[in-house]
A and B are shown apart, each in its own frame.
Chain A
Amino acid sequence: MRGLAQWLIAALLVAAPAERTFAGESLKILGVLYRGCEQVCQGFAARIEESGLDAEFVKRDIAQDISRLPAIIEEARAMEADLVLTWGTSVTLGVVGTLDDDEGSGLLSTIPVVFTIVADPFGTRIAEGFAGSGRANVTGTFNRVPEAVYVETIRQYDPEFEKLGLLYNRNEVNSVLKFKELQKLAPMLGIELVALELASGDDGAPDLADIPRLLKKLREQDVSWVYLGSSSLLRQNGEFFTRAAVEHSIAVLSPYEDLVREQNALLSVAVRSRDLGRLAAEQALKVLRDGKKPGDLPIARATDFAYVVNMEVARQLGRFPPFAFLQIAETVKK
């Protein structure tokens, strides 16, 4: 009975925006962002604009401070947002929680929410599965390939590859999750995982200055590849991290393509960030324009992955991609 009531409310809410559009009032989309409006956010905004939907995209950047989320949730309710876009695992968990959270938790349970850049929406129990989130007001995108794919990609690039390095920080849920996942996978994939934890500074936050030391340590242990993914901190400091890695003759593989295109990671297997933003916008359009219920929508999987190789980094490392790899890889010469 409770479930039915939830559905009815959701249905009413979903139907409401359409009425408002007819009344000539703009729809309101609230974007809850972790570190400003980067490419995903820009792709989202561009697609919404292209679609001709009369909607206002209001951006709220939490600047990596998740304590700001309750206030933003309140704002969403107050402004009667028609849809909320959540960027990243931490933000999404803070806005809609998990499948196990009940209604009284103060999270958004009626306003439609589209999540994106969530590395593992199913492991974190934000959503049930690809067929649907299992929650009336939630849908989203999925943009990752299984971790095994990254390992196999390195193996294709470098048949000698045996040890994978990883730096993680305890302050980020995702980072720890990734460490545990890779720890479990490594023996199955026939590799050794050398994972080192970033030391915390005086303020309890991870100490970025520790990165070169850890990379040196990895190099000493014959690690020639390091994985950079599922860590907003490291991503944010990608330039510093990847440059340090190259200096230590370590190649960086990352699911973040911009780290290869704009910084010094060697290789990525990823979707273009802007494309992912556009995919999230498609989900939003299905809800706002087509009147679909978020809970009925499957989680949209990103396609259009590519291997991107930074040839300048390859030259610096003296590790050119193998011939077969070059036949399909996109290369950049930054």
Chain B
Amino acid sequence: MLFRSWLTFSFVIAVVQMVLAGLSVLQHDAIFSDLLRQRVSVIAQTTATAFKPLVDLGMPLSMMRNGDAVVARALDTDPEIEFVHAFDASGAIVHSTMADRPQSVPPVVLKAMRLATAQGWSAETSQRLYSGFDIKSRSGEIGGGVVVGYPRDRLEEVSQAIVRETAWTALAIWAVFSALAWPVLRLLLGAPQRALGRLEKTLLEPEGRREPVPGGGGAELSVGARGLFGPEIERLGRNLDEAGQQYARAREDLDGAAAGRVRDGAAGSEGGSLVEGAEVAVRGAADPSRSLARRVATRLAPVAALFILLSALLLGLASLRDVNQSIEPELAARTHLIGSVVSDNVQRALAAGVPLDRLVGAESFFGDMLTRLPEVAYIAVATGRIVLEAGERIDPYLAPARERKDVRSHPIMQDGEEIAYVVIDIDPAIISKRFVDVFLDMSVVVLVSVLIAFEIMVLLTSRSLTAGLDRLQRLAAMQAAGDFSRRAGIAASGSVDRMTRLLADRAVALNGQFARLWSRTRSSAGGRAALEQVAQRHALSSSGAVPLRTTYFTDLRLALFLFAAADHLPLVFLPLYTRAAEASWLPFEQAVLLSLPLAGYLLAIVLVSPLARPLAEWLGRRPLLVLATIPALVAHIGLFYATSVPEIVGWRVLTGLGYALVTLACQDYVLDTVTGRERAQAMGLFTTVLFAGIFSGTALGGVLADRLGQENVFLLSAALVAAAAVLVARLVGPADSGIERPRARMHLPPILPTLRSRRFCVLLFGIAIPNNIVLQAFISYLVTLILDSLGASTADIGRSVMLYFLAVIVVGPVAGRLASRWMSMTSLALLGATLGGSALLMAALVPHEVTVLLAIMGAGVGDAMGRVSLVPMAMNVAENELQHLGPNAVLGTLRTLERVGSIAGLLAVAMVAGQFGYAAGMATVAALSLGGAALFGAHLGAGRKTSAVIDPAR
């Protein structure tokens, strides 16, 4: 037990280190590549600016005679640059630094330019990085662009250094934590292991020489059992002892029956029945909360969590330090480059013969530059006094040094003499924001790695330790109660398994003996009657003992987590992936087109949901779970190959179908594995795991798309779905609880009857639908497009969208407590809707990266409040005026209608966004949310007078 637990710990720490190390490197590469591209974009930008006057005149770029000389200037600023091309709007290269000028820019560049909403854009291939800038005329017309090709060598070099650094750190942390785990586990599990060993010894001893079993038969408790799990081991000991006695009794009874004697059934089995080979699964132990397995799991979980968290935090901190060290020179290089560009520009003007104090329009030129380089706060040219300047000065203590060893950082030379120098003040707030961003990025990967590792830990602990204990306990408890109907086929590799096997062997032996006697007494009716009595007493069967089936949600957790993560990996870049696909022949506006994959996905969920339960009954829950992963798997592979919007929509519909079936089948499976009073807890656990998966998928999807390419993320999703399917197929047993449930038929939700209820409608249109529209139209659709238009990378978008799910996860339980103590559910819902709507409105009025982030968080907090309060309020309506329909039907209808509402809302918002821009789309979502809140509030106000409110507290 101890060794296996240690192996599990060691393995999981290795997993967390590997996952985190991998993600850290990816994250670092994403950040570094972004910075590198941004630096190169300074060159693209300044070169493009040179061509602007030409485009302003409406002249083609090709008409500029010294165009080649203009693009070649870039090579002076950074000799590592591979090439610079100036190209016209069709992509034909008109000026280039390359001797054999290619005809046109590579498709990847044109695609990046076409898809970019900002003037600057970038792309990355396996060979090089591209940074480009549109050449736009005053009227906004794109006359062409400038693209700079930069080799990946620098990125590769820095990345390899980070890989080495991270790998060694991870290895060291793993070694230390793995070594630490041994004494900790020994402290935790040593005593119970010894006690179990003693139990085994006692159990395997011949009866005559048997020591008193700990806790068994009134004997003294052993010292070991007084430890951490004393009472549970004591109970197990008693059960084992009792099982032994029952076994002796059963043998006696069988011997007696063979000899024609029948004992009175006073001490017989309780409820044991003759089972003819049917496979009946056994649900949780008689009292799961007191079982040893549960206690061990409860003890191990926090220790495991601590180990995972600490080891992840250590590597996270080390990676953070490495990443910061790695990006610092890059940030400095960008500042230096800007300084060089300014100094070159001024030198060029001076070389043309303009005196320094007669530079016309330089301040507005640098002013324009400042608007495009947010980190530069101030540019000036000084000779001792400031000759020209643009922007606001930064506190000299915070500004970077202008001199290094008495040499100006950016001197302006004329005829070999320094006549002036450039002053560049970098805004320290922007730079520290960059480091804060890095910190947040690293926090996300730490969090996701911890979540993944924890899920693996739970599964492994269950499989290697607690499931075995649980099996032993169950068999012991059954046999102690005289029930020998179950056996367990396991390899005996530890004391727990050996004891289990002994018990199983006993059951097999008894059933075998019974079968032999049964066939021998075929002709004797009296003999058979006596045997039947014995069989009933000890639950024996002529067809032998049946396998003990155990079903645990833990078997399913990792699969559910992986599936949810796989489903949500593409969430943040799906609109961008769709935008890049072929759709020229479709009669839709682009904004609407981009919403179609999401709408199709939701529609599939709406349509498939009523089918899930009948299908599960027809196929069985486990087969349905495995089968439902197939459409998801196929859909993700299809999305990988998809090149047109209809294909993407089609595959997304299939994904929605798979998602609906898998999550609903999982939910039912969970409900089947637990008894009534544990259900709420199990459902809570189910939701937590589902959300953890969604959160991880959303958070990682962005950075993975950034590093691996968007289409490859679909392959990763497919691989995760396949892994989930394998886990289900191999680990999950058929869940048949034996709990009688009414046979499910496909019912259409009672839409009309529910809509007749005014309170239901208020709930639906006031809270449920607006909340869902916020999720689908804002979080899953608009946020990506808005942040993309503000120049954010997919990694940034992923991190931002993740905040929504984080807010839901964190605020949900707090809001629940808030509602139970200080405020009513209705007030909570109203507050949530108002909060979310207001945050959105603010972002719509002032569209900026920060306001959008606040809107995402506001939406998350608002949604969490809405989620917590919605079900109790709906239940309240269901139990009162819609009592005749039943709570399940009312809740089901609410879910269906809110999804239908969100599809309609999504399409409407997409149309508004297409016509009037993303800010208007956001304003529409805000209006719907605030409108819903107003409707709900008005009803509340009216209800106070008539006491017809929805609050379940009333």
Contacts and interface: CB of A to CB of B under 8 A. Distances in A.
B725 to A, nearest CB: 60
Interface string B42-56: 000000011111101
Interface residues of A, number: 32
B354 A326 contact: yes
B695 to A, nearest CB: 49
B58 interface: yes
Contacts of B362: 323
A311 B345 contact: no
Nearest to B68: A304
Given A145-B59, A149-B59, A324-B361, A330 B353 contact: no
Contacts of A180: none
A320 interface: yes
A330 B51 CA distance: 13
A303 B53 contact: no
Contacts of A98: none
A232 interface: no
Interface in B371-390: none
A271 interface: yes
B57 A153 contact: yes
Contact of A304 (B65, B348, B353): B65
Interface of B: 49-54, 56-60, 62-66, 70, 345, 348-349, 352-355, 358-362, 365
B358 A324 contact: no
Given A145-B57, A152-B57, 19 more contacts: A148-B58, A152-B58, A153-B53, A271-B65, A303-B63, A304-B63, A305-B59, A307-B53, A315-B353, A320-B358, A321-B354, A322-B361, A323-B360, A323-B361, A323-B365, A325-B53, A327-B349, A331-B353, A333-B353
A146 interface: yes
A329 interface: yes
A328 interface: yes
Contacts of A330: 65-66
Contact of B65 (A305, A314, A315, A324): A305
A328 B53 contact: yes
Point out which of A304, A322, A323, A329 has the most chain B C-beta atoms below 10 A from its C-beta.
A323
Contacts of A328: 50-51, 53-54, 64, 66, 70
Contacts of B353: 311-312, 314-315, 331, 333
Contacts of A271: 65
Nearest to B388: A323
B137 to A, nearest CB: 10
A327 B352 CA distance: 10
Nearest to A301: B63
Contacts of B62: 303
In the A-B complex, list the 5 residue pairs whose CB atoms are closest, starting with the nearest: A322-B361, A306-B65, A304-B65, A323-B362, A311-B353
A323 B51 contact: no
7 contacts: A149-B57, A309-B352, A311-B352, A322-B365, A326-B348, A327-B348, A328-B53
Nearest to B94: A303
A156 interface: yes
A145 B53 CA distance: 14
B64 A327 contact: no
A289 to B, nearest CB: 24
B348 to A, nearest CB: 6
A106 to B, nearest CB: 38
A272 B63 CA distance: 12
A323 B59 CA distance: 20
A271 B63 CA distance: 9
A327 B57 contact: no
Contacts of A156: 53, 56-57
Given A323-B345, A327-B348, A149 B65 contact: no
Contacts of A153: 53, 57
Nearest to A145: B59
Contacts of A145: 57, 59, 63
A327 B58 contact: no
Contact of A152 (B56, B66, B354): B56
Nearest to A275: B65
B53 A305 contact: no
Nearest to A305: B63
A311 B51 CA distance: 21
Contact of A327 (B56, B63, B345): B345
Contacts of B348: 326-327
A322 B360 contact: yes
A244 B66 CA distance: 30
Nearest to B361: A322
Contacts of A331: 352-353
Contact of B49 (A272, A306, A327): A327
A80 B50 CA distance: 50
B177 to A, nearest CB: 58
B59 A306 contact: no
Contacts of A305: 59, 63-65
A145 B59 CA distance: 8
Contacts of B56: 152, 156
A306 B365 contact: no
Contacts of A149: 57-59
Contacts of B70: 327-328
A22 to B, nearest CB: 35
A138 to B, nearest CB: 24
Contacts of B60: 303
A331 B353 CA distance: 9
Nearest to A328: B50
